Structure 1
Amino acid sequence: MNYIETKNEEHGNKIKLFYEDYGEGQPVILIHGWPLSHKMWEYQVEKIVDAGFRCISYDRRGFGDSDKPWEGYDYDTLASDLNDVITALGLSDTIIVGFSMGGGEVARFIGKYGTANVSKAALISAVPPFMLKTDNNPDGLEKEVFEGFKKEIRKDRAGFLAGFGDKFYNYDKNKDRVSKDQKHYDWSIACRASSKATLDCVDSFGLTDFREDLKQFDVPTLIVHGDDDEIVPIDIAGKKSKDLVKDNTFEVIKGAPHGLIMTHKKEFKEILLRFLKK
């Protein structure tokens, strides 16, 4: 198994992050969503490698096969982890692709470290620019939404994750596009995550303001969102990111839910590969 050791010791000992690395060519890093792992990218990795790219997917700390420390789930630390992946693997001219919570890592990484080793970025069903409703972000979600997540996770994490999976895919509307077995597979991945990481990341993706980070983007950026996303609504996420990122390509997949990389694999594959090759 492949691991890199982080350099960030702010939250105690260094930790190991699991990653998979396939193909040759320009590197593409895939950053997974909450509460899954690199395994969520299964149907994209093959297409990216076959298109002539080097595809790297890693597990966020606390998830998948990476170490599961008690602390360190804030976005500054997660962006530092991404920087360590890029540095340890000696990457340059990198394309970084973040799904949902992973879009936050993309945003905070660029805001904090810049784009010296990055040539393109992609935000897929991503949480930026700011999920929380505040006086200067009136279209956001009430804090009670995220507190409700944490309450249900503490009460019955497995049960919460099963219900989240239904909403992730808008399952009743997309039964012809995604199987019960896939939902169960996702559930099993999510259940393997650290319960502490699962909880702490709710505050990270729910309460972190990425608006200033997005203003620092100076590379071509792909923004993809489904217009039927019930987890990260397009009106408070994708559409607002489009207005903040200077050089962006904004793609809306009609009828797509949050988990569009599974329900709308064909449409998403075409959009992503077109952007990677452009």
Structure 2
Amino acid sequence: MALHVEDEGQGEPVVLAHAGVTDRRVWDAAVPVLVAAGYRVIRYDQPGYGLSPRPTGPHSLVADALDVLAATGVESVHWVGLSQGGATGVDVALAQSGRIRSLALVAPGMSGYDWPALPGREGRMAAWERHDGAGLALEMLRLWGPLSFDEAGRLRADDPAAAVVLDQADWFLQDEQEVEEPAAEPRLGEIAVPTLIVLGDRDVEPITDIGRRYEKGIRDAGLVMLSGADHLLPLRVPDQLHPLLLDHLSRARTARN
């Protein structure tokens, strides 16, 4: 499957991987910052998202990621992933450790995590059952991007997250196509690359739990909690997130040299 890939800049390669409720555009603000800092920035739409075609059957997010590395001709990369994109970076590091130079896990997911029921499940299920893609996308935004709404529950005008999430409406109605990867937590001690974990204080509790598990399981991992941010940190607090990423990447580059 030919995924949509964007490749900009020169220097050490950095992959920006998006969340399962967004496409590559969640990283729009980060790309020019990283390119200006001297990095080659690669981002892509996962199958079914953004400009990538829908999968024709089950597929592995790890295999998709490795296909992107092959398509761009890079052997190893610094991996920056949001949510599901973070989980994929960890899974790649566990599957082929030499392919990952460092990890920046932003509000990360985790393969094999035992998820509890999340707030608003009834509304999401009702939208699914009536095949209401727009309604389901709105409920997904309420869960993962509560800062998109005012105190009365109305979508804020000119919200930066709205288009990125709501544009996935048709895809949210499709059945899951991703192959389940092996549970990551039992093997986190195998990861020996510089790792940064960034969380938002307005995110759902399981994401905070996952972040703490990564901090505990990965050697010398560092965790930062940012205020005023829900799950969509690249859109909410770019001015706080970008310096953290640049410092992390600089330290990782120095450690390699």
Smaller-chain TM-score range? 0.7 to 0.9
In structure 2, what is the equivalent of residue 40 of structure 1?
26
The residue aligned with 1:159 is 135
Match of residue 14, structure 2, among 28, 33, 38: 28
TM-score relative to the length of structure 1: 0.78
Partner of 2:188: 214
Instruction: Give yes or no for the alignment of 1:223 onto 2:217.
Output: no
Please give the secondary structure, in 1, of the residue aligned with 2:207. coil
CA distance 1:270–1:154, shift in 2 (3 Å) = farther
Distance 1:201 1:110 in 2: 22
**Pick aligned residue for 2:229 from 256, 259, 277:** 256
Aligned to 1:189: 167
Whether 1:88 aligns to 2:71 is: yes
Q: Superposed, which structure 2 residues align to 1:57-136 within 5 Å?
A: 57-73=43-59, 77-114=60-97, 116-128=98-110, 130-132=112-114
- Equivalenced residues, count: 246
Q: Distance in 1 between matches of 2:187 and 2:120?
A: 24
Once residues 202 and 118 of structure 1 are traced to their aligned partners in structure 2, the CA distance between those partners, rounded to angstroms, is 21
Deviation at 1:148, TM superposition (A): 7.7
Match of 1:137 in 2: none
What secondary structure does 1:237 align onto? helix
Equivalent residue for 2:3, pick from 17, 32, 40: 17
* Offset of residue 231 of structure 1: 7.2
The Cα of 1:166 is off from its aligned counterpart by 2.9
Q: CA deviation at 1:104?
A: 1.7
Q: Deviations over 1:44-94 (max 9, x none)?
A: 111110111000000111211112123224xxx110111121123221341
What is the deviation of 1:16? Answer: 0.9
Question: In the TM superposition, what is the alpha-carbon distance from 1:276 to its structure 2 partner?
Answer: 1.1
RMSD over aligned CA atoms reads: 3.0
Question: CA 1:16/1:25 → structure 2, altered by over 3 Å: closer, same or farther?
Answer: same
Question: 2:160·2:235 contact (CA, 8 Å) conserved in 1?
Answer: no
What is the aligned-residue identity percentage?
24
Cα 1:263–1:168 change in 2 (3 A) is: same
Question: Which SS does the other structure have where 2:7 is aligned?
Answer: strand
Deviation by residue 1:204-240 (Cα, 9 ceiling, x = unmatched): 59xx732134332111111111122027431x21111
Between the aligned partners of 2:89 and 2:145, the Cα distance in structure 1 is 23
Rounded to whole Å, the distance in 1 between the matches of 2:179 and 2:67 is: 23
Q: Unpaired runs of 5+ in structure 2?
A: 252-257
Give the aligned residue type for 1:265: P
Amino acid at match of 1:153: W
SS at 1:17 equivalent: coil
Corresponding residue SS for 1:85: helix
1:240 has 2:218 as partner: no
In 2 relative to 1, CA 254–211 (structure 1 residues): closer, same or farther, beyond 3 Å?
A: same
* Compared CA separation, residues 109 and 230, structure 1 to 2 (3 A): same
Calculate the TM-score normalised by the size of structure 2: 0.84
Q: Which moved more, 1:51-60 or 1:219-228?
A: 219-228
Q: 1:212 to 1:148 in 2, by over 3 A?
A: farther
SS at match of 1:225: strand
- SS of 1:193's partner is helix
Aligned-residue offset at 1:246: 1.1
Amino acid at match of 2:94: G
Aligned-pair distance for 1:143? 8.9
Matching residue's letter, 1:54: R
Q: Distance in 2 between matches of 1:179 and 1:202?
A: 34
Q: Does the 8 A contact of 2:228 with 2:237 survive in 1?
A: no
2:39 to 36, 45, 53: 53
Q: 1:188 to 1:258 in 2, by over 3 A?
A: closer
Letter in 2 for 1:168: W
Paired residues of 1:122 and 1:221 also in contact (CA < 8 A): yes
